[in-house]
Amino acid sequence: MQKIYKTITESAGPLLVVDGVEGIKYDELVEIETQDGKMKRGKVLEASKNQAVIQVFEDVRGMNLKDSKVKFLGKTMKFGVSLDLLGRIFDGAGKPKDSGPEVVAEKYLDVAGLPLNPQAREYPDDFIQTGISTIDGLNTLVRGQKLPIFSGAGLPHSKLAAQIARQAKVAGGEEFSIVFGAMGITFEEAEFFISEFKKAKAISKSVMFINLANDPVVERITLPRIALTVAEYLAFEKGQHVLVILTDMTNYCEALREVSASRKEVPGRRGYPGYLYTDLSTIYERAGKIKGQKGSITQIPILTMPDDDITHPIPDLSGYITEGQILLSREIHNKAIYPPVDVLPSLSRLKDKGIGEGKTREDHAGVLNQLFAFYARGKEIRELALVLGESALTETDKKYLQFADDFEKRFVTQGYEENRSIEDTLNLGWELINILPREEMKRLKPEHIEKYGKDKTNQNRVN
């Protein structure tokens, strides 16, 4: 039963306080009719015995509280889903943004998602080829994983995300459907993603939700949940492999902090709400595979670290919940290297499950570990050479220095349109490893050195 009240007593930011309510439930949808007859939407954020706090999805400035009405709809927020969503663009509230018609829904699903029994989860172990060597070769992404990109203001995380969306495929060449959610981005960024998806002919297999920087802040809290509801429908009801890209999670957390401040909650670290970890987990944990289901959800959240600080609460908590991170470096970006991935602090906790014989290649784990070891040693010697000069280095040290330079110029550096196969990536890794003498190759099996080592590199390249 719908209930209407004219007892709005207070507004604070995007929040309204309504007194004298009865039988109101948490997360219940509401409609607010302003004094001039305009309708706004919201939901119950807090419900007590006779008072409700409403989170309004639209701007409440200029609203006359005394002459406005609140209607409680008696239902939670649901989003209509069907395969007709593919190829469409929506705003942060799920309304069409592409001048197309309203989608005819097959069913309506709760945007909060359904609780998933951990026992029903299947361990992610299927290799995803992104065509980017620093990911495929060193920080492998697997199907069903959540692997965020930690970036900074001005770094090309948007280009990297668009490249992954364009190139990603699972074993056998099967491509992904893409659910793209953008929160608080600029008009130029939105146009970039739309044009790139259209140029790559990926728009027909994509569903895009875009909240611009001048759109209502509160929409940024709802948007990722709507996007993930669509992803769950495509993956678990239609059997598709879905790649979810969420950008920028920093804007999402800022919106959460704004709402928390309006509620006058006791702040946690750096003013963010104390439940930030729990809230982020309700988004990140909606990735994965389910036993007996063909479909999967792989999630790549993107966040810009304030002041490039990886200890900031947003990247810090995200790193705890997710299975690693791809870290973009301003120092590497300033060397005109794309993508500017800093491979040493980057990490994929599930990489060992998605590589090896039958998945990528038998030597993948050895190549991965050897490249990491050689590059770490090469960077140490690079710093040592700045202090002592190159004349103080041994011949082997100079080869490590050459390896570090060539690794950045040839392995890390990659064109935006360049799509490397895993074979190309591993063969390139062997070419770089062969810069060092054999006695330095301590992370590789002798049989792999015999098969892919110095004498075989040119042959592999030709083949």
Contacts of 23 (CB under 8 A, 6+ apart): 3
Per-residue pLDDT band at 456 (split at 50, 70, 90): low
- 106-122: average pLDDT: 87
- 351-378: average pLDDT: 94
Q: What is the pLDDT of residues 250-309, one digit of tens each?
A: 999 999 999 888 888 888 888 999 999 999 999 999 999 999 888 999 999 999 999 999
What pTM was computed for the model?
0.90
Confidence at residue 459, expressed as pLDDT on a 0 to 100 scale? 46
- Looking at per-residue confidence, does 115 or 80 come out higher? 80
Whether 375 contacts 147, CB under 8 Å? no
Residues making up the chain, counted from first to last: 463
Q: What is the pLDDT of residues 207-248, one digit of tens each?
A: 999 999 988 888 899 999 999 999 999 999 999 999 999 999
Separation of CA 408 from chain center? 25
Confidence at residue 455, expressed as pLDDT on a 0 to 100 scale? 56
- Amino acid in the structure at residue 289: K
Confidence at residue 441, expressed as pLDDT on a 0 to 100 scale? 94
Q: What is the pLDDT of residues 399-433, one digit of tens each?
A: 999 999 999 999 999 999 999 999 999 999 999 99
Confidence at residue 58, expressed as pLDDT on a 0 to 100 scale? 79
Whole-angstrom distance, CA of residue 391 vs CA of residue 398: 9
Confidence at residue 11, expressed as pLDDT on a 0 to 100 scale? 87
Contacts of 162 (CB under 8 A, 6+ apart): 192, 193, 196, 197, 200
Q: Where do the H-state alpha helices sit in 139-242?
A: 157-167, 187-199, 219-232
Whole-angstrom distance, CA of residue 272 vs CA of residue 276: 7
CA torsion, points 282, 283, 288, 289, in degrees to nearest 10? 70
Separation of CA 38 from chain center? 36
CA torsion, points 358, 234, 236, 163, in degrees to nearest 10? 30
Question: Mean pLDDT for the chain?
Answer: 91
Domains and CATH numbers, the chain: 3-76 (2.40.10.170), 79-353 (3.40.50.12240), 364-462 (no CATH)
Question: Is the predicted pLDDT of residue 458 greater than 70, yes or no?
Answer: no
Judge residue 256's burial from the number of C-beta atoms within 10 Å of its C-beta, 0-12 exposed, 13-18 middle, 19 or more buried: buried
**Structure tokens, 159:** 């280009």
Instruction: Find the range with the poorest average confidence among 1-15, 75-89, 177-191.
Output: 1-15
Confidence at residue 198, expressed as pLDDT on a 0 to 100 scale? 87
Whether 438 contacts 453, CB under 8 Å? yes
Residue with tokens 């070419």: 431
Question: Is the predicted pLDDT of residue 83 greater than 90, yes or no?
Answer: yes
Q: What is the pLDDT of residues 124-155, one digit of tens each?
A: 989 999 999 999 999 999 999 999 999 999 99
Q: What is the pLDDT of residues 309-319, one digit of tens each?
A: 999 999 999 99
Residue with tokens 């879905």: 242
Question: Is the predicted pLDDT of residue 460 greater than 70, yes or no?
Answer: no
Per-residue pLDDT band at 50 (split at 50, 70, 90): confident
Residue with tokens 């989860």: 121
Question: Is the predicted pLDDT of residue 118 greater than 90, yes or no?
Answer: no
**Whole-number percent of the chain with pLDDT over 90:** 66
Confidence at residue 1, expressed as pLDDT on a 0 to 100 scale? 61
Confidence at residue 403, expressed as pLDDT on a 0 to 100 scale? 97
**Structure tokens, 265:** 């909650």
Whole-angstrom distance, CA of residue 158 vs CA of residue 338: 12
Confidence at residue 112, expressed as pLDDT on a 0 to 100 scale? 87
Closest CA to 230 of 104, 78, 27, 28: 78
Whole-angstrom distance, CA of residue 343 vs CA of residue 425: 15
